[in-house]
């Protein structure tokens, strides 16, 4: 569901209690529509995420680490100038509006305390972030519009900020009284379902909440108004019951998930309309709920969008290779019938005294078949019997040599296929632009992408993912093939433990042992990391091999990330994202 005004009110209360009084330490803008404000204060440091994206607008505290661009955007620089060191003194929300205002105490150039406001409008495609001074004058906006681009209002530096106009023909849900509600209900016209009437009459409610009110009142999410016999008393009761949870501060964060564990929706009140079809569980906070629902999913979506061209290049190369290997195997299959050519040559040589020049067909006893069998052999009438026999012997020799060559080519092709699948797996697991850039550089080195004009700046290399096991062992995981190579063959010690999912592209995982043997818990946790950062991520369980690094070798001429290993043992790992995230948070030791 979108973050409606009621849910935003609950988020407002939670944020107000957590961040009021804290100072802004730094402002980041990792994406065009996303701001991260790092805060510090008596309650401990935290990071506030503001997203003005049309599909994922929200405000909440986050633990996710988003990758920042090399150079901060202009709006980010402006916010740093005006808000760094500012103290949050209030978090407000206009009634029933999807607008949140952060009020700051800042200091001007003369050292005087002054007020500034960061206004976050979470209104679909028109979502925006506006910085204004104490008089409401706009300092700047994330998205500007002027009289030429907007007929309703102007959002431009120097103009006075005005709130969006209320929705015409609708009443603010949080402002209506029970008597007024009854009057509106009694004055309704036309026939509609209860949820449709609620959403068309009041603003601040999401479709999910309107359906829930209808279900709680009448046991049907689409109950028709024409069937109501109690004058709307049940609908009114459930309507104000939902609003009371918000106004009294009793709202709770609930997440709705499908059978596969994928988040489907969220709410500030327990949703009962799905009964047993979907699972409803309570989260620890609204920030944790929104962070889990949006941040990781939107981060993955952005990376996938940026990786689309690279993914297409690799898939096209893989598809060409599939066709090439299929043709080679078909040709290889024909070479297995080469003995027939040698036999024809032998039969011609044995019956040469019976043949004449210009003959086009030889019918002779077949001493390679059962007794009494004959074989018809096509001849070239322009060749002598000896030349016809030599032609069949040459065909036999050619097929014999082709078998060796094609067998080697198919083997090389299959290894190249494994490599391309591993690259696709690395793209799938990429968490940011730096990860993608390393994969592109690897594809340039392997000849799949043309090298671009060299930049004078040396690209910043990413480091392996770092974890700490419950027992205190450091665990490292490669982000891509090049990093896997470096991690396994250069960084790790021979006595460290190496892990990888069986027969599936994925990260090389290293347990840094420091001369000690890892305990079973650490092995299981490292195996869970190896399974999570592999193409088996969407499954439930995965077989993970582990051995000491000294038994892991790079095959001669092998592509990046390709290894052969011995003396391995196998552990069945369970895919557990929560465990992996906890182990990541445990680092540094």
Q: How far apart are CA 390 and CA 336, in angstroms?
A: 20
Model pLDDT, residue 515: 84
| 3-state SS record for 366-406 | CCCCCCCCEEEEECCCCCCHHHHHHHHHHHHHHHHHHHHHH
Do residue 529 and residue 405 come from a single domain? no
How many percent of the chain have pLDDT more than 90? Answer: 45
Domain boundary among 98, 124, 141: 141
How many CB atoms neighbour CB 134 within 10 A?
11
Average pLDDT in the 345-355 region?
85
CA 374 to centroid of chain Cα atoms: 67
Nearest to 55 by CA among 122, 9, 7: 122
Mean pLDDT, the chain, rounded, equals 87
Average pLDDT in the 443-462 region?
71
Do residue 405 and residue 482 come from a single domain? no
Domain annotation covers residue 135:
yes
- Residue 115, strand partner residues: 105
3-class DSSP state of 330: helix
Domain annotation covers residue 26:
yes
Burial class of residue 34, CB neighbours in 10 A (0-12, 13-18, 19+): buried
Domain annotation covers residue 259:
no
Average pLDDT in the 355-365 region?
85
Average pLDDT in the 144-158 region?
74
Do residue 471 and residue 406 come from a single domain? no
Strands 465-468 and 474-477: antiparallel
How far CA 559 is from CA of 235, 248, 276, 482, 490, in Å, comes to: 66, 62, 49, 9, 16
**For residue 260, pLDDT beyond 70:** no
Do residue 23 and residue 113 come from a single domain? yes
**For residue 50, pLDDT beyond 70:** yes
Domain annotation covers residue 403:
yes
Name the least confident of 3-12, 106-115, 416-425, 560-569.
106-115
Bond into 588 cis (ω within 30): yes
Do residue 402 and residue 483 come from a single domain? no
Segment holding 116, helix H or strand E: strand 113-121
Domain boundary among 350, 380, 414: 414
Contacts for 214 with CB less than 8 Å, ≥ 6 apart: 193, 194, 195, 198, 220, 221, 222, 223, 235
Do residue 26 and residue 137 come from a single domain? yes
Do residue 513 and residue 389 come from a single domain? no
Q: How far apart are CA 349 and CA 372, in angstroms?
A: 19
Domain annotation covers residue 181:
no
Do residue 572 and residue 509 come from a single domain? yes
Domain annotation covers residue 213:
no
Do residue 44 and residue 130 come from a single domain? yes
> Could you report how far apart the first and last alpha carbons of the chain are, in Å?
39
Name the least confident of 15-19, 258-262, 337-341.
258-262
DSSP 550: G
- 454 pLDDT band, cuts 50/70/90, is low
Model pLDDT, residue 147: 57
Q: Which two tokens stand for residue 316?
A: 């096209």
- 568 pLDDT band, cuts 50/70/90, is very high
| pTM score | 0.65
Do residue 14 and residue 106 come from a single domain? yes
Domain annotation covers residue 439:
no
Which CATH number fits the domain that encloses residue 37? 2.30.310.10
Q: How far apart are CA 493 and CA 427, in angstroms?
A: 27
Do residue 26 and residue 132 come from a single domain? yes
> Residues 264-290: pLDDT tens digits?
889 999 999 998 888 899 999 999 999
Segment holding 532, helix H or strand E: helix 520-532
Domain annotation covers residue 505:
yes
DSSP 491: I
Model pLDDT, residue 276: 85
**Residue 104 in contact with residue 89, Cβ under 8 Å?**
yes
Q: What's the number of domains the chain is made of?
A: 3
Domain boundary among 101, 118, 141: 141
Do residue 483 and residue 378 come from a single domain? no
**Residue 512 in contact with residue 496, Cβ under 8 Å?**
yes
**For residue 149, pLDDT beyond 70:** no
**For residue 365, pLDDT beyond 70:** yes
> Residues 514-543: pLDDT tens digits?
889 999 999 999 999 999 999 888 777 899
Q: How far apart are CA 343 and CA 580, in angstroms?
A: 64
**For residue 9, pLDDT beyond 70:** yes
How far CA 430 is from CA of 263, 412, 477, 578, in Å, comes to: 21, 27, 13, 18
Model pLDDT, residue 450: 82
Average pLDDT in the 78-107 region?
93
Which range marks the domain in which residue 353 is found? 330-414
Q: Is pLDDT larger for residue 146 or for residue 13? A: 13
Q: Which two tokens stand for residue 383?
A: 């060749």
């Amino acid at each position: 569901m979108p973050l409606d005004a009621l849910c935003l009110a609950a988020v407002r209360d939670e944020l107000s209690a957590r961040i009021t009084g804290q100072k802004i330490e730094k402002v980041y803008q990792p994406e065009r529509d996303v701001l991260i404000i790092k805060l510090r204060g008596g309650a401990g440091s935290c990071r506030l995420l503001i997203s003005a994206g049309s599909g994922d607008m929200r405000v909440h505290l986050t633990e996710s680490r988003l990758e920042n661009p090399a150079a901060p955007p202009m709006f980010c620089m402006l916010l740093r100038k005006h808000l760094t060191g500012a103290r949050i003194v209030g978090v407000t929300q206009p009634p029933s509006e999807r607008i949140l205002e952060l009020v700051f105490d800042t200091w001007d150039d003369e050292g005087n305390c002054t007020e500034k406001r960061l206004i976050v409008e979470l209104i679909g495609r028109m979502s925006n972030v506006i910085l204004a001074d104490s008089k409401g004058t706009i300092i700047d906006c994330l998205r500007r519009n002027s009289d030429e681009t907007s007929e309703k209002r102007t959002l431009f530096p120097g103009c006075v900020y005005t709130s969006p106009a209320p929705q015409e023909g609708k009443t603010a849900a949080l402002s209506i009284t029970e008597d007024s509600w009854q009057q509106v209900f009694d004055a309704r016209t036309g026939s509609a379902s209860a949820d449709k009437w609620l959403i068309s009459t009041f603003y601040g409610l999401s479709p999910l909440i309107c359906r829930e009110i209808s279900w709680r009142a009448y046991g049907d999410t689409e109950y028709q108004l024409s069937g109501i016999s109690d004058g709307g008393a049940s609908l009114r009761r459930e309507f104000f019951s939902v609003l009371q949870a918000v106004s009294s501060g009793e709202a709770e964060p609930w997440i709705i998930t499908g059978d596969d564990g994928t988040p489907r929706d969220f709410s500030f009140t327990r949703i009962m309309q799905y009964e047993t079809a979907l699972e409803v569980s309570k989260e620890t906070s609204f920030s944790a709920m929104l962070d889990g629902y949006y941040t990781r999913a939107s981060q993955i979506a952005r990376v996938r969008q940026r990786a689309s061209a690279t993914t297409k290049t690799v898939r096209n190369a893989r598809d060409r290779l599939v066709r090439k290997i299929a043709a080679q195997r078909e040709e290889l299959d024909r070479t297995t019938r080469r003995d027939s050519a040698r036999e024809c040559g032998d039969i011609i040589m044995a019956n040469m005294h019976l043949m004449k020049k210009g003959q086009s067909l030889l019918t002779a006893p077949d001493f390679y078949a059962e007794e009494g069998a004959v074989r018809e052999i096509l001849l070239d009438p322009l060749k002598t019997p000896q030349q016809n026999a030599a032609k069949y012997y040459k065909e036999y020799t050619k097929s014999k040599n082709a078998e060796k060559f094609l067998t080697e080519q198919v083997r090389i092709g299959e290894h190249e296929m494994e490599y391309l699948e591993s690259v696709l797996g690395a793209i799938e697991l990429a968490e940011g632009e730096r990860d993608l850039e390393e994969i592109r550089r690897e594809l340039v080195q392997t000849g799949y992408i043309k090298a671009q004009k060299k930049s004078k700046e040396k690209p910043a290399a990413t480091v392996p993912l770092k974890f700490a096991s419950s027992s205190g062992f450091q665990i490292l995981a490669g982000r891509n093939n090049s990093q896997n190579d470096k991690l396994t063959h250069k960084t790790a010690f021979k006595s460290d433990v190496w892990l990888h999912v069986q027969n599936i592209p994925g990260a090389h995982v290293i347990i840094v042992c420091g001369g000690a043997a890892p305990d079973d818990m650490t092995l299981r946790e490292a195996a869970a990391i190896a399974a999570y950062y592999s193409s088996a991520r969407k499954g439930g369980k995965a077989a993970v091999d582990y051995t000491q690094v000294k038994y892991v070798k790079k095959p001669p001429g092998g592509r990046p990330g390709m290894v052969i290993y011995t003396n391995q043992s196998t552990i069945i790992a369970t895919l557990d994202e929560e465990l992996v995230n906890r182990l990541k948070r445990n680092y540094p030791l």
